[in-house]
Structure 1
Amino acid sequence: MLKDDIDSLSPARDFNRRSFVQTTVGSGFAAAVLPVTAQTVTTDTAGLEAGPVTIPVGDFAMPAYRAQPAGKQHLPVVLVASEIFGVHEHIADVCRRFAKAGYLAIAPELFVRQGNAGAYTEAARLIAEVVSKASDAQVMADLDATVAWAAAQGGDTARLAITGFCWGGRTTWRYVAHNPRVAAGVAWYGPVARAYHPGDKTIVELAAAIKAPVLALYGAADGGIPVETLTQLETALKAAGNLRSEFVVYPDTPHAFHADYRPSYRKAAAEDGWKRCLAWLAVHGVKA
């Protein structure tokens, strides 16, 4: 059981399945996070092409959510890796925020082979039955296919970045280690000293393979990601010659502080992190 994923949920949930439940990729909210809070941010689609798409991965059709400025080509590409809850409304909204900033943003549904992450009401069961069965090898291949799809749609994959939250934060680190074409990454509170799938390596163990600059955004009060593990990774990165990555640890800030639909949301840290994210991409070759 992964403590940070579970503790960041409200201890008492009123699961309302008549509203907000995820029915298709990028729509509604995952059942495990209901009810959503009043502070939830909603980004409109004015001026955008946004909605579900299908990405071929061999013979498999992987659903994803895509958002981009309408009528534009040769856009920089940002992969958006979801939390354990899959590609629900919040992740789709993050894609729209990137699109408003001039990016082609794509969030593939990386758990779809294992089950419907959005339908689970209990985070512990979701981790055990779905998340822990999605191996790094599968996820890396799915992200590679997503990059290929973006290129075929006119995206400029010479300007390629990845960002993600929690499980997706770890996936961000992992994909940067996997794909040398990634120009920059932004990892939001992803575990670095443990893996989700049995047998996969930790990010600390993979530090030598991480060459691109990664902006790491974490909370000092994250019960599942001790600050000392971030120090271990930072030390390992520097020892391997990666001097461009940067760690930002917000004081008195919990896990999932960017998740505006959850009680863990911390507006000041979330807004500062978002500004840093866009600036980081621009400085490191993924400028819109």
Structure 2
Amino acid sequence: MSLRDFGLLVLVCLVWACNNIVSKIVVAHWGVPPLFYATVRFALVAAATLPWLWPAPRPAWRIVVVGLLMGAGSFALLFMGFRTASPSAAAVVAQLSVPFTTALSMLMLGEKVRWRRGLGMVLTLAGAVIVMWSPHGLALSPGLWLIAGSALTGSLGAVMMKQIEGVKPLQFQAWVGAASVGPVAALSLLTEPRGLEAAVAAGWPFVAAVGFSALVVSVLAHTAYYGLIQRHEANLIAPLTLMTPLLTIGLGVLVTHDPFDIRMGIGAILALAGVLIIALRKNQVMPLLLLTRNRFQ
């Protein structure tokens, strides 16, 4: 990998990590309801990628379901989780998507898991459990439950995406936005009656935040990342993307003052080591997961 491409990948991971911090600030500090935030974000993504929406991949119902899982399911749950979960803890728990995807690929795609990938799954799960653990036992905050749910729905969407051929990243983003904006908007109207009021109160910083999340993160960074995937093998790119949770943890400590103790450190090391082991093993679903793991990007 050239120094230019490595620098671009670092920049992409930094953008994704900043998005996690920005999303936390929007829903937790500014009080913008998470479903309203997700609705505006999906609307901007859908508008920006509208030219790539058609022709619809076949079968059309599958791309709609994938769009709902990766958008309305994964992103909406992620934003809801940020209300109470710190970005640092969320960054570790979100790594559950990798063993989730591996397990689902076994069930749905017939992949074989040998002992090394099995070890990686165990380490990732152990690391996430350590982060979730409290002195009173496995008492997750509602936010971390939602982050885990986000990882699961995103993983199911990624595996279903494997069964659709020829979908480019911008077309994928277009369908995520188009499929998700309606259902999430309806839920927001039903459960968040003061969403627009909170967004107006936040003012121009909210506009900048949602624009950054939709256009810079999903459209520009994702497209740049896809170019890197095309130029380099997935098994080279996958370990380097672990910079995203590491940067998220660092920014969380610095910007949102996340607590970070020995327990969090051990959990993060185990989880990221498990992800690294899985990423280094060649398999059918890893390149796909790299392209679609935007639930935490």
Question: TM-score, normalized by length of structure 1?
Answer: 0.29
Question: TM-score, normalized by length of structure 2?
Answer: 0.28
Structure with the bigger percentage of helix: 2
Structure with greater Cα Rg: 2
- Structure with the greater relative contact order (CA < 8 A, sep ≥ 6): 1 or 2? 2
